[in-house]
Amino acid sequence: MWKLREHIKPFLPAALFVMFLVFLEVMATLRLPDLMSEIVDQGIARGNIALIWKTGGLMLAVALGGVFCAILGAFIASRASTGFGRDLRKAVFTKVEDFAPQEFNKFGTASLITRTTNDVQQMQMMFLLSMRMAVRAPLMAIGGVLMVVKKDARLALILLALLPVIALIVGFVILKGIPLFKSLQAKLDRLNLVLREQLMGVRVIRAFDRDLYEQERFGEANLDLTNTTLKVNRIMVTMMPLMSLLTNFVSIAIIWVGSKRIDAGLMQVGDMMAFLQYSMQILWSLMMLSMLFVMLPRASASADRILEVLETTPSIQDPPQPQTIDMGHGVLAFENVTFAYPGADTPVLSNLSFTAKPGEMTAIIGGTGSGKSTVLDLIPRFYDPQSGRITLDGVDIRDLTQTELRSYLGYVPQQAVLFSGTIESNIRGGKQSATDEEVAEAARVAQAIEFIEEREEGYDSYIAQGGTNVSGGQKQRLSIARAVVRQPQVYLLDDTFSALDYKTDAKLRTELAKSAKDSTVIVVAQRVSTILHADQIIVLEDGKVAGRGTHAELLANCEVYKEIVASQYGEEAV
């Protein structure tokens, strides 16, 4: 928790005030038995009924003060903790938005999502608990001890002598419990893993008729989990009876020793009664505290996970003094570019050089290991090359702001991505200021008009999260329309059309070629058929250029290209 002190700071005054209120509330709670003892010792023993009434009224006032503090405390605490959660969540999300894909790969998208959502939620809860419970319990214990000592220091010694025993028991349970809790989590994960595998592989499992085997596998994980849970719980259930037994014995001891002291005239009966109540309060608050300790490791793990995100510096930064190009022509050049993914031994691209010119189509082909998709990822600066440079109209792209650089690009990834909203809002993602005509034109080029108009709501049709309510082909077309609407200087197309049927595919290519006739088009292709007419084809193998030229030239003199053609069309095609 303390690790996030930077983010707690703004809420520190509120938190301190809450703690103060909790303190008052605790004092009020502790004052009640004290007043009660006065009723017994002064009122009952002396038969002073007026005093009983007066003290009763005082008790009522104290209780009222206590509840006022508690409610005010709850008010401030809930505002502070939710506010803390809100700000922390925003900090994490904004930070993650600054991340380059490299950081996404490092953390994993799923993990980043969990960190932004569940982990923050966890911290928020922990903050709330710390403010109220964590402070309350020790205050209660300390206040209780003070009161007890005030009442009768000698008698308090019994309590103090027993405290270490209780601490020992709690400590033992925590020490034994925490590793078991961790292993419990691991067993649970294991069960989930087995189940998830079985759900995903259901066809294969059935195909090999291995249902029984899979049931056994699940059974093993299940048994393991059950046994560990039993172990954990068997320890946990000893705690409550043991603790209540201890507290009860403390009371017995207090009464016994107390009665001796009363007999000797060193103490009064009311004092002893208050004493009993205090000791209960002390012991229960200690137990509360121990429960908090059980939660601590989990919260600490969440804090670590959040910090890890917050302390990561995005690998891609804007230059301190950015240059600009005025609506460039779109000449894109790779100059001796070498790039290796972080942690990889061998570069994906080595010494890659080529120039893509406006009005031309540059195609890149090769297997995935060949690094062709990486070429596209370097252009919007998702990654920076280790050596060499990429220039746009002669300017190193690292000298431009990311915003400017990307405003020239129309990027269409292999996996079409849509956002929840409408068809129109998705197309407009490419250019917020687009007119309705521009949106319609982009839809036309991307061959999306037909299915848009088929829908009752047309451009206002709702798109679900992740675009799950449109087909794969429709997703792709909208994703292309988004690129078209901004009329980019440079198109970056990553084997975009795989989900389309052949006719639509062909039409789209023709229309796109017309629409992009003044732009630089860089296509990463899977199928040779899609790039036959490219002005220049770059054949990549193992990150190196294995050939460049037109289709005919490459067929004549590039072995790797011939291999690719042969693998797609059969030997006779070569």
**154 scored as a contact of other proteins (CB under 8 A):** no
Q: 455 is written with which tokens?
A: 């829908």
284 binds other proteins (CB under 8 A): no
Shortest separation between residue 566's beta carbon and other proteins, angstroms: 9
Establish if 417 lies at the interface with other proteins (CB under 8 A). yes
Binder to other proteins among 238, 312, 315, 391 (CB under 8 A)?
238
The helix/strand/coil state of 12 is helix
The secondary structure element, H or E, covering residue 254 is helix 211-263
* 413 belongs to the binding site for other proteins (CB under 8 A): yes
Nearer to other proteins, 387 or 568 (CB): 568
Q: Does 230 interact with other proteins (rule: CB under 8 A)?
A: yes
Q: Which stretch binds other proteins (CB under 8 A): 164-172, 184-192, 392-400, 444-452?
A: 184-192
Closest approach, Cβ 441 to other proteins, in A, equals 18
Residues 159-166: contacts with CB under 8 Å, at least 24 apart: 159/250, 159/254, 159/279, 159/282, 162/246, 162/250, 162/253, 163/286, 165/246, 166/243, 166/246, 166/283, 166/286
Residue 20 binds other proteins (CB under 8 A) = no
Return the amino acid letter for 301: A
Q: Which residues 352-381 are close enough to bind other proteins by CB under 8 A?
A: 366-370, 380
Site for other proteins contains 199 (CB under 8 A): yes
Site membership for other proteins, residue 43 (CB under 8 A): yes
18 versus 395: smaller Cβ distance to other proteins: 18
DSSP string computed for 408-426: TEEEE-SS----SEEHHHH
Q: Which is nearer to other proteins, 138 or 367 (CB)?
A: 367
Q: Dihedral sign for Cα 550, 555, 557, 561, please.
A: positive
Residues 485-504 that bind other proteins (CB under 8 A): 486, 498-503
- Smaller CB separation from other proteins, 113 or 153: 113
Q: Which two tokens stand for residue 350?
A: 């080595």
569 binds other proteins (CB under 8 A): yes
Of 129 and 445, the one with the shorter C-beta distance to other proteins is 129
Q: In the complex with other proteins, which residue's Cβ is closer, 387 or 446?
A: 446
List for the chain the helix, strand, coil content (%; round to 5).
70, 10, 20
Among the listed residues 1, 3, 17, 63, the single contact to other proteins using CB under 8 A = 63
Q: Whose Cβ is closer to other proteins: residue 20's or residue 387's?
A: 20
Sign of CA dihedral 87, 93, 95, 97: negative
- What's the rounded Cα separation, in Å, for the pair 191 and 221? 5
454-483 residues in contact with other proteins (CB under 8 A) are 465-466, 479, 482
Q: 523-542 mask for other proteins (x: CB under 8 A)?
A: ---x--x--x--------xx
Name residues contacting other proteins, limited to 539-558 (CB under 8 A).
541-542, 551-552, 555
β-strands 387-392, 332-339 pairing: antiparallel
Instruction: Supply φ then ψ for residue 187, to 5 degrees.
Output: -65, -40
Strand 409-412 relative to strand 490-494, pairing: parallel
Q: Does 45 help bind other proteins (rule: CB under 8 A)?
A: yes
Local structure of 553: helix, strand or coil: helix
Q: Is the dihedral of CA 394, 398, 399, 400 positive or negative?
A: positive
Q: Which helix (H) or strand (E) holds 541?
A: strand 536-541
Is residue 509 near other proteins by the rule CB under 8 A? Answer: no
Non-local (6+) Cβ contacts of 205 within 8 A are 198, 211, 214
DSSP for residue 135: H
Q: Quick one: which of 14, 142, 169, 276 contacts other proteins (CB under 8 A)?
A: 276
Q: Are 105 and 89 in contact (CB under 8 A)?
A: no
Closest approach, Cβ 396 to other proteins, in A, equals: 19
Which of these ranges, 9-17, 141-149, 169-177, 212-220, lies near other proteins under the rule CB under 8 A?
212-220
Q: Is 188 in the site for other proteins (CB under 8 A)?
A: yes
Positions 88 through 127 that interact with other proteins (CB under 8 A): 89-90, 93-94, 96-101, 104, 109-110, 112-114, 116-118, 121, 125
**DSSP state at residue 533:** T
Q: Rounded to whole angstroms, how far apart are CA atoms 282 and 456?
A: 68
Least gap, CB of 106 to other proteins (angstroms): 13
The reply to whether 449 sits near other proteins by the rule CB under 8 A is no
User: DSSP string covering 170-235, please?
Assistant: HHHHHHHHHHHHHHHHHHHHHHHHHHHHHHHTHHHHHHTT-HHHHHHHHHHHHHHHHHHHHHHHHH
Give the range of 11-19, 175-183, 255-263, 346-354 binding other proteins by CB under 8 A.
255-263
CA 292 to chain centre: 24
Interface pick for other proteins out of 206, 266, 507, 518 (rule CB under 8 A): 206
What does the block give as tokens for 375? 């070429």
Among 12, 160, 186, 245, binds other proteins (CB under 8 A): 245
**Angle (deg, nearest 10), helices 269-310 and 153-200:** 40
Of 419 and 462, nearer to other proteins (C-beta) is 419
